[in-house]
Chain A
Amino acid sequence: MSGTFVGMPAFPTAARAALGDTQLRTNLAHATRTIRDKRAAVVAEVEDWEDLRLSGAGVKEAALRDLATHLETLEASLTRAGATVHWARDAEEACRIVADVTRAHGADEVVKVKSMATAEIGLNEALAAEGIAAWETDLAELIVQLGEDLPSHILVPAIHRNRAEIRDIFLRRMAGAGRPAPADLTDEPAVLAGAAREHLREKFLRATVGVSGANFAVAETGTLVVVESEGNGRMCLTLPEVLISVVGIEKVLATWADLDPMLRLLPRSSTGERMNPYTSTWSGVTPGDGPQEVHVVLLDNGRTRALADDVGRQALRCIRCSACLNVCPVYERVGGHAYGSVYPGPIGAILNPLLRGVSDEQTASLPYASSLCGACFEVCPVLIDIPSVLVDQRAAVVDSHRGDRLPKGEALTMRATAWAFSDSRRLAWAERASGLAGRVLTRISRTTLPGGRPAAGRLPGPAAGWTGARDLPAPPEESFRAWWDRTDGGRDGGGA
C-alpha cells in the first residue's frame, strides 16, 4: 500500500486482488466474526433496543432537518465558551486552517485523537507537506501509520493485520518515529499495547498542539464529545496547550439530552461494549484546566451536497459505529481497501458517492459493491436504510450516463430487456428463442446438474462471469407461459 487511496481501481478489480490475499481473508473472517458476535450479545441485553434505534434516528433527523439553525447556535455557544470557530467548505480549507493554527504556535508536530473527519480530508499528508508531523495515537491508527498502510475499517483501521504482522511493524518502524520497540517484543496483545504506550507517552508529554474530531457536537451548550476506548484521546484532549477539532457539520445535536440515546447506541453497536471506557466532553476553554486555546473547524466537504439528496441524506445520520461493516458479507471477504476510501463497507458505498458525486469510475463502482442482502440495515443503530440508498445511488450512476453518445453494453441490454418485459408477447417470443438455444446448448455441453437436468456448459462473453464458476441450467424447451397456453393450465392433461 502506498499510503494514499488516490488512483485506486474500481471496486471489482480491487476486490479481485483482495480476494486472493489469504492472510487478509483469515484476519477479516476472524475479526468481523468476533465483533459481530460481541455486538449481537450486548444488543440482545437491551429490551427496548428497537425504541432506542428509533429515538437515535429521530434525534439525528431532527438535527439535520434544521441544520443551519443548530450550526449557528453551536457557533454562538462555542464562541461564548472561549473557542474560535472556523468554517471549512472543503478538505483544502480545513487542512489550511489546521496548518495555520499549528504554525502560529511555532509547532512542528501535533498529536492526534482518532478521527474520521481528519482522515477524510487527508490532514496528515497536508500537514506533512508543511513540515508538520501528525502523530496518530490510537493503537490501530498507529499501526497503520507506522506501516505506511491505509485504514481498512472505520473503528478498527488495522483490522486487516494480525498480531504477528503488528509485532513486525513495531520492530521495524517504531525507531524511525520515536522511541523504538523493545528488542524482545512478543506478539502478545498486552506486550504490543505496552510498547505502543511507551512509544506514545513521550509524544503526549511533548506536544503543544492536539488535533481531534468529535463524535457529537451539542449546539445548546457548545460541547464537543469524543467517545473512545484507549485513553489516548483523553491525553490529546487535555495535555496540549492548543486543541484543534475538525468536526463534520452533521455531528451537531440540538440539546445535551439528545446525547442520551446516542451514547447508549454507539458503544454497543461499535465495539460491542455496554459502555466505552472514556467519554470526554469539553465546552470551549476552562481557565487553568486543559487546552487554553481551542479551535473548532466545522467541515462541509460534500455534506451539504448529501443533505440535498432526498433519499441519501439519511446517510448523514451515521455515527461511524461500523456495525454495517462487521455484518457485511462483501466487506468480510474483500476488506476495506477495495472501497478506495477511509469510509469502506456498506456505509462507505453510499457515503462516498453522496459526498463526492459519481462522476469518477471508482466512486461510481461503489453503489454496486453490495448484494443488497440488507444485513447492514438490520444492525444500523440510526436506521439508515442502506440498501434503498444503494439502489438510489445506482440510479444516480445510470442517470449520469444517460447523455452519453455511446451507451454502455449494459445500458443497451437493459433497454432491450425492458422492451421485451413491456409486452408479454415479446417475452413469449424471447422465451421461444431461449428454448431453442437451450436445445442447442444441451447438445453441445452434454452435462447435467444434480437431479438430471441438462446444463448449458461454459458460455462466452458476459455470461462467462456466471459460468466461470457456476453451472447454469440449460433453458427449458417450453416456458411456463407456453405450457399454460398449451395445456390450459394443466387441465388438458399437461401434468400440473
Chain B
Amino acid sequence: MRVALQITCVNDAMFPETGKAVVRLLRRLGVDVEFPAAQTCCAQPMVNTGYLDEAVPVVRTFVDAFAGYDAIVTPSGSCAGSARHQHSIVAERSGDPVLAAAVAQTGPRTYELSEFLVDVLGVTDVGAYFPHRVTYHPTCHSLRMIGVGDRPQRLLEQVRGLDLVELPMATECCGFGGTFALKNADTSVAMGADKARHVCDTGAEVLVAGDNSCLMHIGGMLSRQRAGVRVMHLAEILAATEDAA
C-alpha cells in the first residue's frame, strides 16, 4: 500500500511539528509514508470564501501530486472534508472532465488521521505515552462533514498515562471558520471565548483536537488570557512515547 502524507498548508507553514509527529507515528506502526513534494493546499480557503475559479488550479495541483496513491492521510478533518466533498464542486466549475475523473479518484482515498489509524490500520492502541490531563474538542468538519465519530477518543483512551476529561458543550463550534475568523472577527471571538471558558472549566492542562487551524484560534485565545492551557494536535500526543518523554 502506497501511503501519502497530505501535510496541509497550515501545518506545512505554521505547524511542522505536527507533520513530523505523523511521520514518526506512522513509521512506528510500520507505514512507510511518503511526502509528495508537489503538494500545496486542498483549496478550501478559496472554496469557502467563494473563489471557485481560483480554486481550480489548486485542486489540479492536489490531484496531480496525489495521483496513484492508495491512501492519502491528512492530519486535518477539514482538509479531508475538502478533498472528499468540495473538490467535485471545483471540478464541475472547471468544466474539465479529466479533473472531475481525477478528484473522483483522490477524494475517496483521502483519510483524516484518526480514520486512517482506526479504519485502515485497525489500531486504537498506538503505543503512546502522555502523562497529562487532556480534554478533546471535536472540530466541526471532522464531526459533521466527514463523521470521524469517536475514533479520536478511542485512540486517546489507549494512551498510557493520559487522563481524558470530557469537554462541556464539546460539539459546539469554536468560532474559527476559516476566513470567518477575520471577516466576522467579533462573532468569531465571542464564540471562541465560550469555548475557551469550557476548556478551562475542565481543569485540563492540554486541549487536543484533530485540526491545527481550530487550535490556533482557541489556543490563541487561551494564550492571550494566560489561561495556562496549551493546545496540541492529536498526532503529537499519539506520537509521544515513554522513550521520548
A contact residues vs B (CB 8 Å cutoff) = 11-12, 15-16, 19, 329-330, 333-334, 367-375, 377-378, 387, 391-399, 402, 410-411, 414-415, 417-418, 420-424, 427, 430-431, 434, 449-451, 455, 462, 465-466, 468-473, 475-476, 478-481, 483-485, 489-490, 494-496
Contact = CB atoms under 8 A, between A and B. Distances in A.
Contacts of B227: 450
Given A424-B38, A450-B228, A473-B216, A333 B191 contact: yes
Nearest to A420: B40
A329 B195 CA distance: 11
28 contacts: A12-B183, A12-B184, A12-B187, A330-B191, A334-B190, A368-B179, A371-B173, A371-B180, A373-B172, A378-B144, A394-B48, A414-B46, A418-B46, A418-B57, A422-B57, A423-B40, A424-B38, A449-B223, A450-B223, A450-B227, A469-B189, A470-B189, A476-B14, A480-B16, A483-B19, A484-B37, A489-B35, A496-B23
B50 A397 contact: yes
Interface in B189-241: 189-192, 216-217, 219-224, 227-232
Chain B interface residue count: which class?
A: 35 or more
A462 B7 contact: no
Given A391-B86, A450-B229, 4 more contacts: A19-B186, A422-B40, A423-B40, A472-B220
Nearest to B51: A414
B27 interface: yes
**Could you tell me the dominant secondary structure of chain A's interface residues?**
helix
A371 B51 contact: no
B86 to A, nearest CB: 8
Nearest to B86: A391
Contacts of A371: 140, 173, 175-178, 180, 188, 191
B41 interface: yes
Contacts of B14: 473, 475-476
A465 B223 contact: no
Interface in B1-36: 7, 9, 11-16, 19-20, 23-24, 27, 35
User: Closest 3 interchain pairs by CB?
Assistant: A371-B177, A470-B220, A394-B50
A418 B40 CA distance: 10
Given A19-B186, A371-B175, A371-B176, A451 B20 contact: no
Nearest to B65: A424
Contacts of A450: 219, 222-223, 227-231
A373 B182 contact: no
A11 B9 CA distance: 29
Contacts of A455: 223
Given A378-B144, A417-B46, A466 B173 contact: no
Contacts of B55: 418
Contacts of B127: none
A327 to B, nearest CB: 9
Contact of B50 (A330, A396, A430, A469): A396
A444 B241 CA distance: 35
B83 to A, nearest CB: 14
A372 B140 contact: yes
A479 B13 contact: yes
A152 B111 CA distance: 41
A372 B178 contact: yes
A206 to B, nearest CB: 45
Given A330-B191, A371-B176, A465-B182, A418 B54 contact: yes
Interface of B: 7, 9, 11-16, 19-20, 23-24, 27, 35, 37-41, 43, 45-55, 57-58, 60-61, 65, 86, 89, 140-141, 143-145, 171-173, 175-192, 216-217, 219-224, 227-232
**Could you tell me the dominant secondary structure of chain B's interface residues?**
helix
Contact of B52 (A373, A395, A411): A395
B13 A496 contact: no
Nearest to B12: A480
A371 B144 CA distance: 13
Contacts of A472: 216, 220
A480 B172 contact: no
A374 B177 contact: no
Contact of A468 (B13, B143, B185): B185
Contacts of A398: 49-52
A398 B188 CA distance: 22
A480 B19 contact: yes
B53 to A, nearest CB: 8
Nearest to B181: A466
B37 A481 contact: yes
Contacts of B48: 372, 391, 394
Nearest to A418: B54
A422 B180 CA distance: 23
B16 A478 contact: yes
Nearest to B41: A421
A414 B173 contact: no
Nearest to A428: B37
A19 B61 contact: no
A391 B182 contact: no
Nearest to B222: A450
A451 B208 CA distance: 13
Interface centre among B60, B86, B183, B229 (most CB of A within 10 A): B183
B24 A481 contact: no
Interface centre among B38, B51, B61, B181 (most CB of A within 10 A): B51
Contacts of A399: 50, 52
B152 to A, nearest CB: 17
Contacts of B216: 470, 472-473
Contacts of B232: 451
A333 B201 CA distance: 20
